[in-house]
Amino acid sequence: MHKLFLLLFLIVGCKQLSMAQFNRWQQRVKYTMNIDIDASSNRFTGKQKLAYTNNSPDILRKVFYHLYFNAFQPNSSMDVRSQELGKTLVNGRQDWDGRVKDRISKLKEDEIGYQKITSLKINGIAQPFKYHETILEVNLTKAIAPKTSVVLDMEFEAQVPLQIRRSGRDNPTTGVRYSMSQWYPKLCEYDYEGWHPTPYVAREFYGVWGDFDVTISIDKTYKLGGSGILANAAEIGWGYDAPGTELKSIASPKRTWHFIANNVHDFMWAADPGYKHLVRKMPNGGPTLNVIYNYKNNDINNDEAWTAVADAAVTVLPFIETHFGKYPYPQYSFIQGGDGGMEYPMATLLSGPGLGTVFHEWMHSWYQMMLGTNESLYAWMDEGFTEYATDLVEGYYRDKVSRVKGVFNPAYIKSIDSAAALLPLEHNSNYKSYYYIAKSDYEEPLTTHADHFNTNIGYSVAAYSKGCVFMEQLGYIIGGQVRDKILLEYYKQWHFKHPNSSDFIKLAEDVSGLKLDWYKEYWCSTTKKIDYAIDSLWEENGVSKIRIRKVGQMPMPIDLQLTFKDGSTEIHYVPLNLMFGEKPVEDKKQNRIVHQEWRWTHPTYIVELKHRLTDVKKVEIDPTKRMADIDQKNNTLELNW
């Protein structure tokens, strides 16, 4: 494709995209919850009023709720699954989640978690329901018609389990009293594929967008952080009314906290008497950033580390919004709690102040909280895209810090400059993880359900690393600058709409003007590998020829770089026939020659040169290393004429 035509296509195509209207319907919820916590028994009661709008064209004859706390009981699905995975040895180690192991099996009666429904009515009429461990099935006495709304009134009681996975109480590592995620009966998502009553076995989530109005009554010594804004900040104080204020004194034994979170698909909160609260306000009407952490024995180092979290968040947010889209909510809270890092709307739980985890969990606000893919089916679109973005944010932050300290390292800037098409320095660890799993017996297709991977390591590398490589490698296929446009358009067109992998690929095709369905099919639906080799080179009738061989089963376009004796370089670009086009020039400082397309059925391809073969000093496939070639030893040929 000629440069001018491609430029016109991108301008016109992106303009048309911005005008397009995506009409996929979304269900809608509005939760109003009143929660009363008994901190002495670690139990609470709740009243939940849920306004549910059926925007689908379907008649709903039943509904489902998640009851996540029921997973934390001996012999639960989570317990048994964890122990079964632990029987597999990977490099001599048990392949179970180190946070879970067999701990659930050892919980005592007052340490387990549970959620029990004491009453459930729809529009005032009691409904029959049935427990399926972590799923509640409600067979409606009257179906919910399309385009109508109902009110579900529920009363429930629950016990907070010991901290095992994500949520719970009395975490011995953090010292945090309550990490309250997956803590309330949550309506399952119903979408174009039907209901998604996914049991809580190990991993990911899927939720309905809506509004949350949550009132929590708890012992007055506790301090809270969570999703949403604090509606009664004036009566609470503690930095919510103004930075640096103290928790206001009250006479009653319990204090009421009132949070409101709009247009989110979940709600999390955490509580501890020893919490400390830092506040940062972004300029020009930007969000308020809260850092809430456990204040341990006047530990100055701990204070400094969490202060660094607050300052780092202020530093990187402009970069994030420029590259991935604007943060739309009025606040975000980094809260110490949980079992490592766990993302939720407008907040995250963090076991510690490590900035890598801080940035990763925050980037989930874009690739899960705002886009909301079904993580069980497309974990790589959440974790992988988040991991890709995190790598860039970390690189940007390191560069900013090095500039402030007067130790500027240009590699950090180069590594995030997709237009320069340089080495994917920031993604090296994810490439290495992918290469490890690809050469092992543990790789499974990305289309595998998150809970159904045979190993924990297989899931982790697939979702995080192979998902990250998908995005960086996409830049190799279509050009880094085009990929960056796709990410912004993806945010613009699909936030708050639950996109799937086909939606992303279709948008990528629209922006790039190239066919990409083959890429999704090979990379996501199979475990076929990329492996190209320089086979041979020779001169024939005065024409220099280089033969490239496709050793692996996955086809790709090829960037072949020649380095000449005079130090100059030249790129010979071979498009793949399945693309029906070519990527634009990425490095304008380097001459590029475009060859005829390589038909994927053919195992070899011959590149013809206008240069004498003896002028060539080095031949290299993919000098940027963005193509995930599992054997790069055969990618380079040094010539000593």
**CATH code, domain carrying 285:** 3.30.2010.30
pLDDT in tens, 170-223: 998 899 999 999 999 999 999 999 999 999 999 879 999 999 999 999 999 999
Calculate mean pLDDT across residues 388-397: 96
CA angle 144, 148, 153 (to 5 degrees): 65
Domain shared by 457 and 496, yes or no: yes
| pLDDT score of 172 | 87
Does residue 101 belong to any structural domain of this protein? no
d(CA 32, CA 539): 77
Domain shared by 508 and 561, yes or no: no
Domain shared by 163 and 33, yes or no: yes
Domain shared by 18 and 31, yes or no: no
d(CA 302, CA 311): 14
pLDDT grade, residue 413 (50/70/90)?
A: very low
Calculate mean pLDDT across residues 296-317: 88
| pLDDT score of 275 | 96
**Which residue in 181, 196, 239 sits closest to 377, CA to CA?**
196
d(CA 425, CA 246): 45
Domain shared by 447 and 512, yes or no: yes
Check whether 83 has a pLDDT greater than 60: yes
pLDDT in tens, 9-58: 344 444 444 434 457 899 999 999 999 999 999 999 999 999 999 999 99
Domain boundary residue, one of 464, 492, 525: 525
Whether the full predicted model's pTM is greater than 0.85, yes or no, is: yes
| pLDDT score of 173 | 87
- Residue owning tokens 């690929």: 505
| pLDDT score of 247 | 98
**Which residue in 210, 163, 196 sits closest to 182, CA to CA?**
163
Domain boundary residue, one of 525, 560, 575: 525
Domain shared by 39 and 169, yes or no: yes
- DSSP labels for 268-321? -EEEETTEEEEEEE-STT--EEEEEEE--TT-HHHHHHHHHHHHHHHHHHHHHH
| pLDDT score of 22 | 53
Domain shared by 402 and 514, yes or no: yes
Does residue 91 belong to any structural domain of this protein? no
| pLDDT score of 304 | 93
| pLDDT score of 79 | 98
- Counting the structural domains of the chain, the total is 4
pLDDT grade, residue 410 (50/70/90)?
A: very low
Amino acid of residue 536: S
**CATH code, domain carrying 592:** 2.60.40
Does residue 100 belong to any structural domain of this protein? no
d(CA 569, CA 612): 14
Domain shared by 33 and 166, yes or no: yes
Percentage of residues in the chain having pLDDT higher than 70: 92
**CATH code, domain carrying 135:** 2.60.40.1730
Domain boundary residue, one of 179, 208, 237: 208
| pLDDT score of 81 | 97
Domain shared by 409 and 457, yes or no: yes
pLDDT in tens, 500-556: 999 999 999 999 999 999 999 999 999 999 999 999 999 999 899 999 999 999 999
- Indicate the pairing of strand 93-94 with strand 60-66: unpaired
Domain shared by 203 and 274, yes or no: no
pLDDT grade, residue 426 (50/70/90)?
A: confident
| pLDDT score of 4 | 39
Domain shared by 514 and 555, yes or no: no
| pLDDT score of 406 | 55
Does residue 606 belong to any structural domain of this protein? yes
Domain shared by 143 and 265, yes or no: no
Range(s) of the domain holding residue 310: 218-369
Does residue 388 belong to any structural domain of this protein? no
Does residue 108 belong to any structural domain of this protein? no
pLDDT in tens, 268-299: 999 999 999 999 999 999 999 999 999 865 67
Check whether 499 has a pLDDT greater than 50: yes
| pLDDT score of 299 | 72
Does residue 242 belong to any structural domain of this protein? yes
Does residue 385 belong to any structural domain of this protein? no
